Structure 1
Amino acid sequence: MSREMTAAATETETRTDNRTDNGTKTATPTWPRTGAGTGITGAGRHGRRVVVAALLAPALLATAAPAANAREAARPGGVQHQLDVLVERDGAPGTLAYVNSRTYTAGTAQAGTGRPAVDADARFRLAGDTKAFTAAAVMGLVADGKVRLDSPARRYVPQLGENPVTVRELLKQRSGLPEYTGLIDWSGGPYTDEDHLALALAADQDFEPGADWGYSNTNYLVLGLLINNTSGENHRDHIERTVLGPLGLKDTYWPARGEPTPRGMSGPSGGLVSTQKDLNAFWAGLFEGRLLPGWAVRQMTNDTTDVGGRDVYPRGSRYGYGVASIPLSGLRGTVDAALCAGRKGVSQ
């Protein structure tokens, strides 16, 4: 699977009950702990914002970064120390953390160039975090009565044919649709989202819808088509109007159509570009109820699947609607796993 790793962390607490439904458990957050795709991003208690990004893309827009505080850099386990470890031990080209309005960086903006790592205003590809924006837009359509979670998605996306997958299963990565990025002939193109979906539908299902969990960009590609067909506007325009605009995310945008992008880093599953401040503003706006009704936000974060030990998710992790909860104690292993994947050629 081709992915760029953008990891972000926040301290978290959750309470869970013992109810299960087809392998899922409801979790009630005492305060948000969230993430998307291969990333973990969020806003903490009393407005404390924490963002950590491990950047595996071959290049990133950058300007000169401020020097790290020497005392913080020397403290084992401190923010700067952890970023230095990601670069010096784990091989990340550049890392970024944003804590209480302060930016920490390590490494370079582009491997082999020596250019300073990104600063507080630099833009970077959100990768899997884009899925949370797409999920929020879909839940807006649900709140407006235009989409029903348990309806077959083919009602809104005829290209699915007879596939029985529901909208809920797409949001929760429980469709069984195979990863389309591994099926593309990258020497050809350009391809449309419909072309990508056709490739996935022609391949064998990973599992029957609802029977298991498996991270697949194809799920959110289909949700992008759902937005197109139910909103009357392209998913890019719809997400700009219903998510980016209301939250004032002026530094978050879709790359120009036709602009070269890393493999798999496009469309409603991974295409957005943003800044650390905008990303934190998104999480704050989502969890503070400025985008969706409270019940819709609770649906996104409470209707979850245990994904601990799968993909890059450590024990105790749960996946909801484009967001994941990951124990703070498990972040180290998550980043290690993602970096290991990066060294094997992910996002090349």
Structure 2
Amino acid sequence: MYRRTRLAAAVLLAATLTGALAPVAAASGQRDPVQRQLDQLVERDEVPGALAYDGRQTRTAGVADLASGRPMVDAAARFRLASDTKAFTAVAVMRLVADGRIRLDDRAGRYVPQLAGRPVTLRQLLKQTSGLPEYATLVDWSSPGTSEDYLALALAQPPVFTPGTDWGYSNTNYLVLGMVIDKVSGVDFRTYVERVILRPLHLDDTYWPAPGELTLRGPHARNYGINPAHPEAGRVDVTELPGHEFGASGGLVSTPPDLNTFWNALFEGRLLPHWALRLMTRDTTDVGGRDTYPPGSRYGYGLASIPLTCGGVYWGHGGDLPGDSVAGGRATGGRGTVTVYTTTWAAEGSSLRHLQGAVDAALCAKHR
């Protein structure tokens, strides 16, 4: 999930990724700039496997399984979206807004009793300006609970700032938005997202994990990282995770073609009225230089814009878990859509530069 405040962030940031890796990388020195970034992720950053899919071409580097050495999977394989899930949740909320069932300036406490009396609005939740503390670092992931349990953990902490006065990435915002969808739609937020996004777009390879489901369905690469429940073990296989518990903040599983289809549909006006999409992308906060966002980045409603070296921006989100990182989205100016992911956490230092560099290279390819 947990992009921009990673799952058990204190553990992940403090941990040194250990273990000798011997990934099989694609031949270096290739002229293709996207492949070059993927190769650097594997050869320099010790990422086991990396993939980029732009709708026409799939590029890979490394391996899908360190034990067997099998080559990195293709674009038909599934991976955890982590916090890319937030874009789906935000679109679902905006569908309720467009249908007149909620208003952006409604207080969240109107729908979530635990927030009664707190001046937090739905707009602030979408924009990450609520000041609600992060819950993901407080959860005992070996003994998962309910959304209400997780929210209670966050609310037991003091607010990070007064609502609306600052920006601070918190998975708690989207935890609450999932609870709002539950209340207003009358069905579980997962069912509502399926009804208004997944089924209409025929995203047949995208799904919410069932309760207790730890594995990934269908073809997939193995994932490696620090298990938050057992950080003392160092870098291990973390393919099996309690994905259902990541919920509206980070629970979806998908494929690169499905994710690209979502981005294209959103920006082609197939999911929301144009006025709703304009709100999502124009009511934004400058987040450049904060967290993993490069200078010039802005955060809207479950979407972020990232500047491109060839001019313009791309809109997407991104996500990180101990076992994968995801980047990409749809560029302005008809420059296309791309999904890039790695099979380990790659949200810091050179690995982050190469991950974002692969996205930039793919979307700027027509302009080089």
Identify the TM-score tier after normalising by the shorter chain: 0.7 to 0.9
Aligned position for 2:358: none
**Kept in 2: contact 1:90–1:339 (CA 8 A):** no
| Aligned positions of 1:23-38 closer than 5 A | none
1:128-155 deviation per Cα after TM superposition (whole angstroms, max 9, x unaligned): 1000000000000000111110111111
The whole-number CA distance in structure 2 between the counterparts of 1:101 and 1:167 is 38
- Give 1:341 deviation, angstroms: 10
| Aligned positions of 1:61-140 closer than 5 A | 74-76=29-31, 78-111=33-66, 113-140=68-95
- Give 1:4 deviation, angstroms: 6.5
Aligned position for 1:177: 132
Aligned position for 1:151: 106
Specify the SS of the correspondent of 1:135.
Answer: helix
TM-score, scaled relative to structure 1: 0.73
Aligned position for 1:338: 347
| Aligned positions of 1:1-348 closer than 5 A | 3=2, 74-76=29-31, 78-111=33-66, 113-187=68-142, 189-260=143-214, 262=241, 266-329=246-309, 338-340=347-349
- Give 1:91 deviation, angstroms: 2.3
**Kept in 1: contact 2:45–2:351 (CA 8 A):** no
Matched residue type, 1:269: S
The whole-number CA distance in structure 2 between the counterparts of 1:320 and 1:148 is 16
TM-score, scaled relative to structure 2: 0.70
Matched residue type, 1:158: P
The whole-number CA distance in structure 1 between the counterparts of 2:105 and 2:147 is 23
Aligned position for 2:357: none
Structure 1 gaps, min length 5:
6-36, 39-64, 344-348
**Kept in 1: contact 2:45–2:350 (CA 8 A):** no
Specify the SS of the correspondent of 2:284.
Answer: strand
Identity across aligned pairs (percent)? 63
1:267-300 deviation per Cα after TM superposition (whole angstroms, max 9, x unaligned): 0100000000000100011111111100001111
Aligned position for 2:360: none
User: What is the number of residues matched between the two proteins?
Assistant: 278
**Kept in 1: contact 2:41–2:351 (CA 8 A):** no
Structure 2 gaps, min length 5:
7-23, 215-239, 315-325, 328-344, 353-368
**Kept in 2: contact 1:91–1:339 (CA 8 A):** no
Specify the SS of the correspondent of 1:233.
Answer: coil
1:67-126 deviation per Cα after TM superposition (whole angstroms, max 9, x unaligned): 97x7xx633561111100111112222111112411001112245552321212000000
Matched residue type, 2:210: A
Aligned position for 1:41: none
Specify the SS of the correspondent of 2:191.
Answer: helix
Name the CA shift for 1:246/1:160 in 2 (closer, same or farther; >3 Å).
same
Name the CA shift for 1:100/1:169 in 2 (closer, same or farther; >3 Å).
same
- Give 1:258 deviation, angstroms: 1.4
**Kept in 1: contact 2:55–2:260 (CA 8 A):** no
Let me know the Cα RMSD of the aligned residues: 2.8
The whole-number CA distance in structure 1 between the counterparts of 2:146 and 2:123 is 24
Moved more, 219-228 or 83-92: 83-92
**Kept in 1: contact 2:48–2:66 (CA 8 A):** yes
The whole-number CA distance in structure 1 between the counterparts of 2:139 and 2:350 is 20
